[in-house]
Amino acid sequence: MAQDVIVHIQRKDSPDGATYRQTFHVPYEDGMNITTVLQRISAQPVTDEGEHTAPVAYDACCLEEVCGACTMVINGHVRQACSALVDNLLKEQPEITLEPMTKFPVVRDLLVDRSRLFNALKRSKAWVSVDGYWDRGSGPLMAPRDQEEAYPLSRCMSCGCCLEACPQYNDKEDFIGPHAVSQIVLYNTVPAGQSIAPERLDVLAGPGGIAACGNAQNCVKVCPKEIPLTTSIAKAGRAATGHAIRRWFRR
Amino acid sequence: MAGTITSAESAKEKYFFLLRRLHSLSGLVPVGVFLLWHLIVNATVLAGGDKFQFMVDQIHQLQKAGLLFVVEMAFIFLPLAFHAVYGVVIALSADMNAREYRYGPNIRYTLQRWTGIIAFAFIMFHVWQMHWLGEPFGGSMFKPHDAPASTAAAIQASWWFITFYIVGVTASVYHLSNGIWTALITWGITIGQRAQRISGYFCTAFGVALLLVGMGALWGFTTYHAPAQPDQETAHTAAFVADPQHDSH
Ligand code: SF4
Ligand code: SF4
Ligand code: FES
């Protein structure tokens, strides 16, 4: 198959610039993915009308679907560019469309600013807190059963797919998002993280916390790491309710 | 989360979790329980007008005790008004995307919001019609002492009313059944995917059964003919129902 791959790309020159579309013809290569396509366009940024244009801006890092940087909307569906194979995309529709995620501000072209995603993780204290540099030895042991539940949650790569697909994640609500809910569940399960569990539950039971979820369950469907987000959401719902009641009685 | 409330915005923030949880709870108890019971009571008309009148009389015992208004307000009207109004706030906070992400749960999520709006509009109409609309607008009004005939007259008054009742009851039943499914997740009862799938089967069965009850009640009232009775007011309503223009047959 020597035919060109036809790619329609939504572009924007600056954060407050106008949005426009350009079409590129890229020579087909065996096993190529969308990051390859974008690299080829960068090497020769000429549109189908023969116009020499600026290379398309995009993000990428690991090239193996573990960093989340290259997340974008491909053929109308959010996913990673580096693991989106052209062969499979052409089975979905004859010409490929690339758009930036809609839930984050566009920096340029396909590059978005995911600060809100990371700020939610900060708000949720999705870490093990340490207050010094000395050797603490090995952490507390975990029961295998807990470990089996916690490990899948640790695979989150902060890509933002779940947020892009979530109807409740938007400018109208300050929702922390399913990724943060799941990280709270993870760090409240891991013994080393439990010392600040109540602070994380405050976030879950607070504004923009778990109650903003409307159970549309898109998050779990689109998560490329197959994280059981809806299970985390249900656990978080129960934990937050219990926490809110206990908090109220302790006043 | 402590601190003084300085504006409506921060009050909304402060009580965000509480309001959402109360919204979920109020949809189940008392609103959901009321819908279930209301449709079952109405469906008793299928067993005859006397049976339905008996149920209404039982309920209106409360009136003799002077409690009906209080019970209606505290357990039906206020929770329902809160659930409906705050439900619109929740629905407006969504960026629905069932067109882009056509997954079953997402379609149900979208339907949950639309059926909520439809049920809200329908229930406002229903309460208005049964309490105040009365005859002047070509409708009728619920009369507790003449329950089957007055209800039948109200529903049979127009082809449009029957349609609206079918749509409204269907939307309400869907909203309740799907609401039970989501509430089980919200309250952390069904946690795993398997549990959520199985609860889905139960909620579907519940919804189908309740829809049959609701449609049965509607069928009962659209086909109801009051037996001729000496009582003045009943005779009047019965004549109204028997009027060929208003007869659905
Ligand atoms: S289940 Fe909740 S978090 Fe996940 S997509 Fe739906 S609304 Fe968003
Ligand atoms: S939970 Fe899944 S979809 Fe969401 S950010 Fe993490 S890896 Fe991405
Ligand atoms: S480049 Fe890291 S996920 Fe694609």
pLDDT at B230: 53
Q: What is the dihedral of CA B23, B26, B28, B34, to 10 degrees?
A: -140
The distance from CA A139 to its chain's CA centroid, rounded to whole angstroms, is 29
Residue A110, phi then psi, degrees to nearest 5 = -95, 5
Whether A9 and A100 share a structural domain:
yes
A244 touches chain B (CB under 8 A): yes
Beta strands in chain A (DSSP E): 4-12, 19-27, 71-74, 77-80, 96-99, 106-108, 111-112
**Which residue in A41, A59, A233 sits closest to A157, CA to CA?**
A59
pLDDT at B2: 44
Whether A210 and A140 share a structural domain:
yes
Residue B229 lies in a domain: yes
Structural domain range at position B200: 18-247
Which amino acid is residue B137, in one-letter code? Answer: F
Q: How many domains does chain B have?
A: 1
Residue B7 lies in a domain: no
Whether A123 and A229 share a structural domain:
yes
Residue B181 tokens read as: 């499914």
Size of the A and B interface in Cβ pairs below 8 Å: 109
Q: Kindly tell me the burial class for residue A112, based on how many C-beta atoms sit within 10 Å of its own C-beta (0-12, 13-18, 19 or more).
A: buried
Residue A199 tokens read as: 């602070």
| Distance of residue A100 Cα from the nearest chain B Cα, in angstroms | 15
The distance from CA B66 to its chain's CA centroid, rounded to whole angstroms, is 24
Tens of pLDDT along chain B (249 residues)?
Answer: 444 556 777 777 889 999 999 999 999 999 999 999 999 999 999 999 999 999 999 999 888 888 899 999 999 999 999 999 999 999 999 999 999 999 999 999 999 999 999 999 999 999 988 987 766 666 678 988 899 999 998 899 889 999 999 999 999 999 999 999 999 999 999 999 999 999 999 999 999 999 999 999 999 999 998 776 555 444 444 444 444 444 443
CB of A16 closer than 8 Å to CB of A108: no
If you compute the radius of gyration of chain B from its CA atoms, what whole number of angstroms results?
21
Residue B5 lies in a domain: no
Whether A44 and A25 share a structural domain:
yes
Among A76, A216, A238, the residue with its CB nearest the CB of B106 is A216
State the CB neighbour count (10 A cutoff) for residue A241.
21
Q: Which among A215, A226, A230, A248 is the top mutation candidate for probing chain B, defined by the most B β-carbons within 10 Å of its own β-carbon?
A: A215
* CA–CA separation, A235 and A221 (whole Å): 18
**Which residue in A230, A112, A117 sits closest to A163, CA to CA?**
A117
Last residue of a domain, which of A112, A145, A164? A112
Whether A8 and A48 share a structural domain:
yes
Each as own residue / partner, the long-range contacts of residues A74-78 (CB below 8 Å, 24 or more positions apart, any chain) are A74/A34, A74/A98, A74/A99, A76/B100, A77/A222, A77/B100, A77/B101, A78/A160, A78/A161, A78/A164, A78/A165, A78/A222
A139: CATH: 1.10.1060.10
Distance between first and last Cα of chain A: 71
Whether A60 and A121 share a structural domain:
no
A28: CATH: 3.10.20.30
A178 touches chain B (CB under 8 A): no
Among B17, B21, B105, the residue with its CB nearest the CB of A216 is B105
Q: How many domains does chain A have?
A: 2
Strands A96-99 vs A4-12: parallel, antiparallel or unpaired: parallel
A178 lines ligand 1 (CB under 6 A): yes
Residue B99 lies in a domain: yes
**Which residue in A21, A2, A3, A1 sits closest to A11, CA to CA?**
A21
Whether A79 and A24 share a structural domain:
yes
Alpha helix segments (H runs only) across chain B = 8-14, 16-26, 33-43, 49-59, 61-64, 68-71, 78-92, 104-128, 147-156, 159-186, 193-222, 232-242
Q: What is the pTM of this model?
A: 0.91
Cα of A167 from ligand 1 centre, angstroms: 7
Tens of pLDDT along chain A (251 residues)?
Answer: 568 999 999 999 999 999 999 999 999 999 999 999 999 999 999 999 999 999 999 999 999 999 999 999 999 999 999 999 999 999 999 999 999 999 999 999 999 999 999 999 999 999 998 888 888 888 889 999 999 999 999 999 999 999 999 999 999 989 999 999 999 999 999 999 999 999 999 999 999 999 999 999 999 999 999 999 999 999 999 999 999 999 999 88
Torsion-angle region of residue A63: left (phi > 0), alpha (psi -120 to 50) or beta? Answer: left
Q: Which among A217, A226, A246, A251 is the top mutation candidate for probing chain B, defined by the most B β-carbons within 10 Å of its own β-carbon?
A: A217
**Which residue in A111, A112, A92 sits closest to A103, CA to CA?**
A112
* CA–CA separation, B163 and B218 (whole Å): 10
Q: Could you tell me which residues of chain B have a Cβ less than 8 Å from any Cβ in chain A?
A: 1, 12-14, 16-18, 20-21, 90, 92-97, 100-101, 103, 105-106, 109-110, 112, 182, 185-193, 196
Distances (CA, A) of B195 to A214, B190, B191, B200: 18, 5, 6, 8
Residue B3 lies in a domain: no
pLDDT at B135: 64
**Nearest CA residue ID for atom 3, ligand 2:** A223
* CA–CA separation, A12 and B198 (whole Å): 46
* CA–CA separation, A139 and A158 (whole Å): 25
Residues of B in contact with A231 (CB under 8 A): 191-193
CB of B161 closer than 8 Å to CB of B154: yes
Residues in the ligand 3 pocket, defined by CB under 6 Å: A 60-63, 65-70, 80-82
Q: Is the dihedral of CA B208, B210, B214, B220 positive or negative?
A: positive
Strands A71-74 vs A77-80: parallel, antiparallel or unpaired: antiparallel
Whether A38 and A154 share a structural domain:
no
CB of A63 closer than 8 Å to CB of A82: yes
Residue A127 tokens read as: 């870490």
DSSP-based three-state secondary structure for A134:
coil
DSSP symbol at A228: -
Residues of B in contact with A181 (CB under 8 A): none
Tens of pLDDT, residues A31-55: 999 999 999 999 999 999 999 999 9
Cβ within 8 Å, pair A167-B97: yes
Structural domain range at position A86: 4-112
Last residue of a domain, which of A112, A138, A158? A112
Whether A90 and A180 share a structural domain:
no
| Distance of residue A176 Cα from the nearest chain B Cα, in angstroms | 13
A217 lines ligand 1 (CB under 6 A): yes
pLDDT at B210: 98
DSSP-based three-state secondary structure for A72:
strand
Whether A102 and A217 share a structural domain:
no
Alpha helix segments (H runs only) across B60-158 = 61-64, 68-71, 78-92, 104-128, 147-156
Whether A126 and A144 share a structural domain:
yes
DSSP symbol at B227: P
Residue B98 lies in a domain: yes
* CA–CA separation, B109 and B93 (whole Å): 13
Q: Which of A117, A221, A222, A229 to mutate to test the pocket of ligand 1 (most atoms within 8 A of CB)?
A: A229
Cβ within 8 Å, pair A238-B191: yes
B199: CATH: 1.20.1300.10
Residue B13 lies in a domain: no
Residues of A in contact with B18 (CB under 8 A): 244
Residue B132 tokens read as: 């105040």
Tens of pLDDT, residues A165-207: 999 999 998 999 999 999 999 999 999 999 999 999 999 999 9
A4 touches chain B (CB under 8 A): no
* CA–CA separation, A199 and A209 (whole Å): 12
Last residue of a domain, which of A53, A86, A112? A112
CB of A243 closer than 8 Å to CB of A205: yes
Whether A155 and A166 share a structural domain:
yes
